[in-house]
Every structure is written in structure tokens, then in C-alpha cells.
């Protein structure tokens, strides 16, 4: 049979059936005519023709079997019967669909996130061939080390594993010529950067060879988001000019949508257009580490392992060739990381953990639905017995039940997809600030296939195997009023409840640990008072403020202008805002009286340039000595303030105030005049060693934060602060103005998100498990109504009956708790990556979760137990 005929028999069934009827009628008529010619009368001729032809319906069935559509016919029949049966039980259907929708929806949402962030290929050509070259000097406290131009040039010339290398760093430029100046985050790259990635602009062209060399015309390529937002997708943008820091750049291309990595750059320019990258000091200084990332594309046939070995070889060669720049005591090493893993960063472990927990929720949902299905199947014993008596075998009945389960699972999957879509929208809005590739999360084809797959798996998991009745048992089931069987099915239902409790336990423990971890972070003392502090970030136009006196003059005028604002109590300038977590390149220094030791790394600390009222503005106490004063200028003796961490490290039992340190190997010495309390730059990290240098002595800053302690709400002063800054320089853009408390809340956002999701999963698991337990006991009470009636008729009081039912539930829950504790102990390592300040085996959490789960289970058991006590003995006995 060809496909065309098969499809015709499927989709034009009525017409094919009519043709079959006509063909059989034609054969019968021909046979009857033959009989007439043989001398039979009309009636006898018809009867003889029918006997000769055989049963008409049997012939039709044989023809249908020959068509090859029997499976579809049976499926159509099963679907129709299943839909009618589910319509007759709307309550059962609704509960099953809702339970599955919650489980499938949670899995679909988390899978969408995991797929979009971890598993979806990067939008580059052959992304598996892309890598980042890395440098580190752990002996000097540098887990990550930027590249100098000479570093990059050497790696490009000496490597044998890469077809191409490209440099990258990001910096802020100021866009002028608009009503309001704008800050543009700009990616500064080699001319082959987009060619290396395999990315072609959707408009215009990419960078040409040589456009990253000195003297090349300044050109720009726009990111897709910036083009859409600022130019509304205008295709005529090619050829337009943008004035960045008083230099005109021509737009030559527009990129397609790309993953924002390493930064969310709005425009890209060749390396030569960056004045810092092209400065002669940067080009000649091997310690001028401006390049933050070096991208590479592996040669054909070169494995990542071979490439990493080659990178290490180049690092060893650099150490040998330039020992003064790569001292042995620094532990310098070069390495390699795949671009995919670099983009994901630390997000992998928490997301996989969330996916695992969501799968537990689905498993609990399937167990609960399986229990409901078993209860329904026990009530359908007589129906199944009738079908068995009519000739249906186990396989035929199982196929019908599986069809019904599949209908419910697909309905649950569709509803879960709706839940997942709504949840994902909220998730993306919240997580796009800190989760890589969050804006690329979609309900796409792989997600739809995943949803379909887990829906079908769920249908098989919760589908109950039918019981085939034979002999006397069949006759019993055919009698009116026969009760459903208990035995093995009751044990299976109890086992499912134990399984639900056992799975719920690790979920609740994970949620409890995440909540305690979040609480520990919230209770951490950052060492400063974040309330009533307003922070504004400013990057100066380095073409206008091109020397230290101009920069210092700007900050002094800012201080003078902001102090006039009503509600401004203390004002300070700092090169780094508190809680920014940016200290990844500490500065080396030397203590007076401590000679540099050969082979020992120099001490390092984070150096902050701050104004006089910095500690008062952010509420960081000064425990000894004095704060900076207006007289601490460049011409005055150098002074610094250190924090307690540094003081305890180098003068644990001595007074640090009055000691001296040097940053230039003894050419000049700075006296320590104060010791400040420790303040954290990251809430989940210990305080680092800090050295504060006075703003007036440093001469100025190109970028800094303005910190204002207010008498009222910080947000109410934002507009006035913006006006004060523009009063000093109308062309000065402001990156952001926000209360410092908001910065602290943003640092907690990832931990809060994980705790919230785990809490939702745990709550779902708890509700589903409790309802499953309640359902099992309620059905048990129904099945044991006669027994309960006899017990009460023989003198059992209601308390005994209550305890009998409660005991059954307590035994099931206890078994589940025991299994759950064991499972949680075995899985504790999986949760360590999301915790802070609490152990994965924290006994308090285990005890609290046990109490919560046991209490919820007892409440769930109470309802069917109370129902059992209301059984009237006479009514129960009379019902039999």
C-alpha cells in the first residue's frame, strides 16, 4: 500500500467505508444474479449468495485489517472512550491535571533556564573551538591577571595551537552632541575579533585589517540592542557619526543579537581608537595590564588539552625570557578556559541543583497521581471485569488505561507550559541583572520537546497496571455492589506515600538550608551603615579632565556643591563604592623595616582613594587614630589609613598607627595615621586588606563614587544630587544614582532567588505529599468501613478508632522520614555550592524539617481519622 492510499483511508474514512459497502453489495448482487439464472427464486438467491459470501461484517473487518489502519482505529476508539470517562469524573481529571501541571511546569521552567544558560550553543561559528587564554599569579594573591600589550603580542607570536587570537577590554566613553551626555560601555578589540568569533554584521561591515593600528580612521560597530534602542532599528545608521570624548567616530556596522560577554557593551571600536591602549607607555610596559581578555580559536584538529598544554609552554617561555616581570615567587602561570564555561561562570552548579530539585517535584506529583489512579482503578474493578468477560485481554485494557493517562499527562503538560511561560517572564525580569544569558532564555523547540517527553514519561510512570479477573473472582466482581480489592494495591499505595515523604525530605532540607544561608547573609555586618546613604557613580571625560589638577578641581567643586543640598549630612568621594566587590588586583607595598625577601611575594592590599569624610559618610568606624583632613595634600607628608584586617596581619600585638609603608620600593614613605574597622566589599566574602589614600594627596580620580549620608530618605535626594553634578559640569553623564541599601539588596538577589525557588518547590512537594497521604488514609477508611463498624459494635470507642487510622499514617510517614534523612545525607554535597554560613548537614535544619513534615502529615492524617470516628456501626453493618 502506498502512502497516498494509506492517508486516504485515514482522512477520508467515510468515503472509503462507503466504497467498501458498495463493493460488497456489488459482489452479493453478482452472486445473487448467478443463483437466479440457476433457477432459484429471488429470496433463495439472496440467501444463498450471503451464505456463499460469508459474514459481511467479518469481511469488512478483514478488509480494514488489510488497510493497515487498525492501530489508528483502535486509538480513535480508545481516545473517545477515555475522553468520555474523564468527562464523567471531572473532579479526578482536574486534580490530576493540576498536580501534573505544577510538576511539569516547574521542570519546564527550570529546564528552559538551564538550556538557555548552560546547554544552548553560543551564537558563534563552531563555539566549541573558542577559548580564553588566562593568566594568574597566586603567589601574589592574583587569581586572575590581565594582559599587557606585550603579553598579547608574545602569545600571538609564540603559540602553535590557535588559528587566531584577539584582544578585548571594555571602557566607558562619553557620547556628546546629544541633549544629554551618555556613557557608552565600549568593547575595545582587535580588528579580527568578530572574524575570530565567526560573526558577520547584519548591516554594514566588520573591522578591516589594519583598523586596529595607530593612525587608522576611528570607526564603530553598534551592538544590536543599542541600535534598536537608540536608533529604533534605522538601516540608515551606517555612515552616521558619533562624538565620543571629543573624537568623531563613523558607524560602519551593526551586529546581530549576541551573548553579552564579557560585558554588556553598547558599541565596539578597534584597539587603536582607545587612547589608553595606544599610549606609548602602555605599548612598552609589560606591567601595563590593560587587556582583560584574550580570545582564541583553535586550529583544526587541535584538542583543548593540547591547546592548554601549548598555552602553558608559552607561559614558561615568558617566565624564562622576562624573569623581572614574571618572578618565580609570584607563581605565575598561563592557562586556558573554554569560552562556554567562561560565559556560564559560577551559575552552572546552582542551576543543575535547581533542575534536580524540580525533577523531584515531578516525581512526587507522579507518585500522587499514581495513588489517585489506583484508587480510581479499584472503583472500576467491576467495569474491567465486564470488559474481561466480553473478551478483552490485559494488553487491551492496559492500552485503554494508558491512553487515558496520556490524555491527562498531555493536558497537564499543556497547563504546565502555561505556568512555565508566566514564571519565566518574572524570572527573566528579576535575574537578568546577575544571571549570564538570562535574556536568551526562551520556550523554544528543545523546551517543547522536553515538555512533551516528560509528559509522556509521566503518563507511563503514574499509569496503573490493570488486574485481570478470572474464574470465580470474575463472577464475584460481576455482582452488583462488589467492593474493590485491597491487598497488593493497598500496599502499593502505601509504598507510594512512603516514597513521596522520602523525596520531600531532601527538598525541604535543601530549601531550609538555602533559607538559613540567605538569613546568614542578611545578618552579616558589612562593617558600614548602608541606610540613608545615596551613591552616584561618575566617569569623567578624560579628554577634558586630562590631568590630576583638573580632576581634583572637579571633585572639590562637587563636594562644595553637594554640601549645599538640604538633607545632605556628610559627603565623600571614593574611587570604589562600598560593596562593589571589584578588588581583584591588589596593590603591592612594603613595610618599613622589612626588607624585600628573595622568593617571597610582596604584601598586597586594596588601595582606595577617599576624601576626608568617607568613613563618616558610609558609617565605617575609625577604631584608632584620626581620619583624613583637608591639609593631607600632595605637598604634605604622605599619610594612609588601613583597616583592622591589615593591622592584625602585620602588627598583631603592636600599634599600627605611626608605622610607615611604601608603594615605590622606599622612594617615599606614607605614615599610618588611623585604623578603620573592617568593611566587606562582598557580603559572601571576608574583608580584604585595605589601605586608604587621601584624595587631595592622590591628585584626582578619573572615575569615582559620590557618597551622601542623608537625614531623610536617600531616594528623595536623587534629583537634587543630579542637578548639583550638572551644575558643576552640564556635559557630565552619571552612570547611576541609587541608595547604598539597594546595592546591598542587589548583592543578595542571587541567594534570594535560589532560596525562593527551592522554597516554592518544597512547598509544592509538601502540599502534594500531604494530600497524597490524606487520600490514602481516606480511601483506607472507605475500604474498612465495615471493619470499623464491627469494631465499634464490639465496644471500640472513637479514640481507639482515631488512633488506629492515625497510627497507619504515622507509620508511613516515619518510614518515609527515615528514607528521606538517608537520602539527604547522601545528597548533601550537591547543595554545598549554594550555601553560605551553614553546613549541608546542619542538624538544626534537619530537625526543623522533620518537625514540619511530621506536623503536616499529622494534620493530613487527622481528617480521614475524624471521618472514621463518625462511622455509625448500624449503618456500616447494614450496608453489607
What is the enclosing helix (H) or strand (E) of 298? Answer: strand 293-298
Strands (E), 658-770: 660-662, 670-676, 690-694, 703-710, 736-739
- 580 and 684 part of one domain: yes
β-strand partners of 691: 607, 642
- 798 and 853 part of one domain: yes
Burial status of residue 40 (CB atoms within 10 A of its CB: 0-12, 13-18, 19 or more):
middle
- 845 and 787 part of one domain: yes
- 393 and 499 part of one domain: yes
Burial status of residue 688 (CB atoms within 10 A of its CB: 0-12, 13-18, 19 or more):
buried
- 604 and 488 part of one domain: no
Quick: pLDDT tens for 413-430.
999 999 999 999 888 888
pLDDT band at 781 (very low <50, low <70, confident <90, very high): confident
Mean of per-residue pLDDT scores for the chain: 85
Residue 114 lies in a domain: no
Say if residue 557's pLDDT is above 50: yes
Residue 108 lies in a domain: no
Residue 96 lies in a domain: no
Whole-number Å distance between alpha carbons of 573 and 561: 13
CB 392 within 8 A of CB 476: no
- 386 and 291 part of one domain: no
* Highest averaged pLDDT of the listed ranges 355-364, 594-603, 669-678, 769-778: 669-678
Quick: pLDDT tens for 541-551.
888 898 999 99
Say if residue 328's pLDDT is above 90: no
Quick: pLDDT tens for 430-464.
888 888 888 889 899 999 999 999 998 888 877 75
- 166 and 228 part of one domain: yes
> Which is higher by pLDDT, 654 or 804?
654
- Which one, of 340, 194, 324, lies nearest residue 269 by Cα? 194
Range(s) of the domain holding residue 55: 3-68
Quick: pLDDT tens for 245-303.
878 999 999 999 999 899 999 999 999 888 888 888 888 888 888 999 999 999 999 99
Say if residue 757's pLDDT is above 70: yes
Position 481 scores a pLDDT of: 45
All three cell numbers of 17, joined, read 467505508
| Domain boundary, last residue among 703, 731, 759 | 731
| Domain boundary, last residue among 331, 358, 389 | 331
DSSP SS3 for 182? strand
- 362 and 267 part of one domain: no
3-state helix, strand and coil shares in percent for the chain, rounded to the nearest 5: 55, 15, 30
pLDDT band at 64 (very low <50, low <70, confident <90, very high): low
Say if residue 702's pLDDT is above 70: yes
> Which is higher by pLDDT, 29 or 66?
29
- 751 and 635 part of one domain: no
Say if residue 878's pLDDT is above 70: no
pLDDT band at 859 (very low <50, low <70, confident <90, very high): confident
DSSP SS3 for 135? strand
Residue 63 lies in a domain: yes
| Domain boundary, last residue among 35, 52, 68 | 68
Quick count: other Cβ atoms within 10 Å of Cβ 631? 12
Q: Return the DSSP state at 563.
A: T
Quick count: other Cβ atoms within 10 Å of Cβ 7? 10
Burial status of residue 445 (CB atoms within 10 A of its CB: 0-12, 13-18, 19 or more):
exposed
> Which is higher by pLDDT, 776 or 495?
495
CB 753 within 8 A of CB 438: no
> Where does residue 358 fall: left (phi above 0), alpha (psi -120 to 50 degrees), or beta otherwise?
alpha
Say if residue 130's pLDDT is above 90: yes
Counting other chains too, the contacts that 826-833 makes at CB distance below 8 Å and 24 or more residues apart are 827/506, 830/353, 830/356, 831/353, 831/510, 831/513, 831/514, 833/349, 833/350, 833/353
pLDDT band at 746 (very low <50, low <70, confident <90, very high): confident
Contacts of 205 (CB under 8 A, 6+ apart): 252, 253
Quick: pLDDT tens for 582-636.
555 678 899 988 765 555 667 889 999 999 999 999 999 999 999 999 999 999 9
Q: How wide is the angle at C-alpha 816 spanned by C-alphas 810 and 819, nearest 5°?
A: 140
What total number of domains does the chain contain? 4
Residue 281 lies in a domain: yes
Burial status of residue 765 (CB atoms within 10 A of its CB: 0-12, 13-18, 19 or more):
buried
Range list of H helices, 160-213: 193-197
CB 380 within 8 A of CB 81: no
- 167 and 295 part of one domain: yes
- 558 and 681 part of one domain: yes
- 480 and 553 part of one domain: no
Listed range (502-506, 563-567, 726-730, 856-860) with the worst mean pLDDT: 856-860
Position 796 scores a pLDDT of: 74
All three cell numbers of 259, joined, read 551573548
Quick count: other Cβ atoms within 10 Å of Cβ 440? 18
Residue 97 lies in a domain: no
Contacts of 76 (CB under 8 A, 6+ apart): none
CB 709 within 8 A of CB 533: yes
Contacts of 835 (CB under 8 A, 6+ apart): 513, 514, 517
Residue 84 lies in a domain: no
- Which one, of 276, 255, 266, lies nearest residue 193 by Cα? 255
Quick: pLDDT tens for 660-694.
999 988 899 999 999 999 998 888 888 889 999 99
- Which one, of 469, 459, 486, lies nearest residue 390 by Cα? 469
CB 412 within 8 A of CB 494: no
Phi first, then psi: what are they for 820, rounded to 5°?
-65, -40
Peptide bond into 63 cis (omega under 30): no
Phi first, then psi: what are they for 789, rounded to 5°?
-60, -45
Amino acid at each position: 500500500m502506498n502512502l497516498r492510499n494509506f492517508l486516504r483511508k485515514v482522512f477520508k474514512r467515510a468515503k472509503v467505508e462507503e466504497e467498501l459497502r458498495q463493493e460488497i453489495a456489488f459482489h452479493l448482487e453478482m452472486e445473487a444474479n448467478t443463483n437466479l439464472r440457476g433457477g432459484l427464486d429471488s429470496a433463495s438467491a439472496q440467501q444463498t449468495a450471503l451464505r456463499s459470501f460469508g459474514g459481511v461484517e467479518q469481511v469488512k473487518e478483514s478488509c480494514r485489517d488489510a488497510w493497515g489502519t487498525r492501530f489508528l482505529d483502535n486509538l480513535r476508539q480508545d481516545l473517545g472512550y477515555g475522553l468520555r470517562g474523564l468527562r464523567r469524573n471531572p473532579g479526578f481529571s482536574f486534580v490530576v491535571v493540576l498536580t501534573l501541571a505544577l510538576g511539569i511546569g516547574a521542570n519546564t521552567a527550570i529546564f528552559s533556564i538551564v538550556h538557555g544558560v548552560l546547554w544552548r550553543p553560543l551564537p558563534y561559528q563552531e563555539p566549541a573551538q573558542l577559548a580564553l587564554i588566562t593568566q594568574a599569579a597566586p603567589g601574589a594573591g592574583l587569581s586572575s591577571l590581565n594582559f599587557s600589550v606585550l603579553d598579547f603580542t608574545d602569545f600571538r607570536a609564540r603559540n602553535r595551537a590557535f588559528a587566531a587570537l584577539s584582544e578585548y577590554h571594555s571602557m566607558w566613553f562619553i557620547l556628546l552632541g546629544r541633549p544629554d551626555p551618555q556613557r557608552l560601555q565600549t568593547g575595545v578589540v582587535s580588528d579580527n575579533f568578530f572574524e575570530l568569533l565567526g560573526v558577520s554584521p547584519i548591516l554594514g561591515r566588520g573591522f578591516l585589517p589594519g583598523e586596529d593600528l595607530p593612525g587608522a580612521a576611528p570607526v564603530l560597530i553598534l551592538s544590536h540592542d543599542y541600535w534598536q534602542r537608540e536608533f529604533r532599528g534605522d538601516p540608515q545608521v551606517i555612515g552616521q557619526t558619533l562624538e565620543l570624548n571629543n573624537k568623531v567616530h563613523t558607524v560602519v556596522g551593526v551586529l546581530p543579537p549576541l551573548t553579552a560577554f564579557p560585558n554588556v557593551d553598547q558599541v565596539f571600536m578597534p584597539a587603536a581608537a582607545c587612547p589608553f591602549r595606544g599610549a606609548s607607555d602602555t605599548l612598552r610596559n609589560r606591567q601595563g595590564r590593560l587587556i582583560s581578555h584574550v580570545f582564541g580559536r583553535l586550529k583544526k584538529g587541535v584538542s583543548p588539552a593540547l591547546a592548554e598544554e601549548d598555552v602553558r609552554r608559552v607561559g614558561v617561555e615568558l617566565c624564562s625570557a622576562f624573569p623581572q616581570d614574571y618572578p618565580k615567587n609570584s607563581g605565575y602561570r598561563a592557562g586556558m578556559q573554554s569560552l562556554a564555561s567562561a560565559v556560564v561562570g559560577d551559575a552552572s552548579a546552582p542551576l543543575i541543583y535547581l533542575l534536580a530539585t524540580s525533577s523531584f517535584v515531578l516525581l512526587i506529583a507522579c507518585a500522587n497521581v499514581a495513588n489517585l489512579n489506583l484508587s480510581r482503578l479499584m472503583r472500576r474493578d467491576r467495569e474491567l471485569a465486564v470488559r474481561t468477560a466480553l473478551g478483552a485481554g490485559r494488553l487491551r485494557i492496559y492500552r485503554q488505561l494508558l491512553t487515558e493517562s496520556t490524555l491527562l499527562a498531555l493536558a497537564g503538560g499543556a497547563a504546565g507550559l502555561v505556568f512555565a511561560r508566566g514564571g519565566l517572564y518574572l524570572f527573566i525580569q528579576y535575574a537578568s541583572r546577575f544571571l549570564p544569558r538570562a535574556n536568551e532564555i526562551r520556550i523554544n523547540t528543545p523546551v517543547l520537546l522536553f515538555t512533551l517527553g516528560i509528559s509522556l514519561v509521566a503518563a507511563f510512570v503514574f499509569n496503573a497496571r490493570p488486574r485481570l479477573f478470572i474464574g470465580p473472582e470474575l463472577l464475584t466482581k460481576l455482582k452488583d455492589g462488589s467492593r474493590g480489592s485491597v491487598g497488593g494495591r493497598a500496599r502499593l499505595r502505601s509504598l507510594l506515600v512512603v516514597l513521596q515523604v522520602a523525596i520531600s525530605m531532601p527538598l525541604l532540607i535543601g530549601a531550609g538550608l538555602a533559607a538559613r544561608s540567605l538569613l546568614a547573609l542578611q545578618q552579616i555586618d558589612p562593617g558600614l551603615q548602608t541606610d540613608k546613604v545615596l551613591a552616584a557613580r561618575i566617569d569623567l571625560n578624560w579628554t577634558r579632565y586630562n590631568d590630576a589638577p583638573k580632576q581634583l578641581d572637579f571633585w572639590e567643586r562637587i563636594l562644595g556643591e553637594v554640601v549645599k543640598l538640604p538633607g545632605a549630612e556628610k559627603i565623600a568621594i571614593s574611587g570604589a563604592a562600598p560593596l562593589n566587590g571589584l578588588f581583584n588586583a591588589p596593590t603591592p607595598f612594603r613595610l618599613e623595616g622589612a626588607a624585600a625577601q628573595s622568593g617571597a611575594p610582596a604584601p598586597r592590599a586594596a588601595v582606595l582613594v577617599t576624601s576626608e569624610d568617607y568613613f563618616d559618610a558610609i558609617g565605617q568606624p575609625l577604631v584608632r587614630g584620626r581620619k583624613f583632613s583637608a591639609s593631607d595634600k600632595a605637598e604634605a607628608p604622605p599619610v594612609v589609613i588601613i583597616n583592622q584586617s591589615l593591622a592584625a596581619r602585620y602588627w598583631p600585638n603592636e600599634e599600627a598607627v605611626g608605622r610607615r609603608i611604601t608603594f615605590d620600593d622606599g622612594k617615599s614613605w606614607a605614615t599610618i595615621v588611623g585604623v578603620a574597622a573592617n568593611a566587606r566589599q562582598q557580603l559572601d566574602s571576608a574583608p580584604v586588606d585595605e589601605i586608604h589614600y587621601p584624595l587631595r594627596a592622590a591628585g584626582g580620580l578619573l572615575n569615582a563614587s559620590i557618597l551622601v549620608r542623608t537625614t531623610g530618605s536617600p531616594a528623595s535626594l536623587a534629583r537634587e544630587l543630579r542637578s548639583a553634578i550638572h551644575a558643576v559640569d552640564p556635559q557630565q553623564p552619571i552612570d547611576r544614582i541609587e541608595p547604598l541599601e539597594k546595592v546591598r539588596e542587589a548583592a543578595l538577589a542571587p541567594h534570594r532567588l535560589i532560596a525562593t525557588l527551592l522554597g516554592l518547590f518544597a512547598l509544592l512537594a509538601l502540599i502534594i505529599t500531604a494530600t497524597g497521604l490524606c487520600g490514602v488514609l481516606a480511601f483506607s477508611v472507605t475500604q474498612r468501613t465495615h471493619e470499623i463498624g464491627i469494631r465499634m459494635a464490639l465496644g471500640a470507642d472513637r479514640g481507639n478508632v482515631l488512633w488506629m487510622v492515625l497510627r497507619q499514617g504515622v507509620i508511613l510517614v516515619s518510614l518515609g522520614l527515615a528514607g528521606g534523612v538517608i537520602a539527604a545525607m547522601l545528597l548533601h554535597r550537591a547543595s554545598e555550592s549554594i550555601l553560605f554560613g551553614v553546613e549541608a548537614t546542619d542538624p538544626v535544619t534537619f530537625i526543623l524539617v522533620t518537625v514540619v513534615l511530621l506536623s503536616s502529615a499529622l494534620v493530613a492524617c487527622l481528617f480521614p481519622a475524624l471521618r472514621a470516628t463518625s462511622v455509625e456501626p448500624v449503618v456500616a453493618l447494614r450496608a453489607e
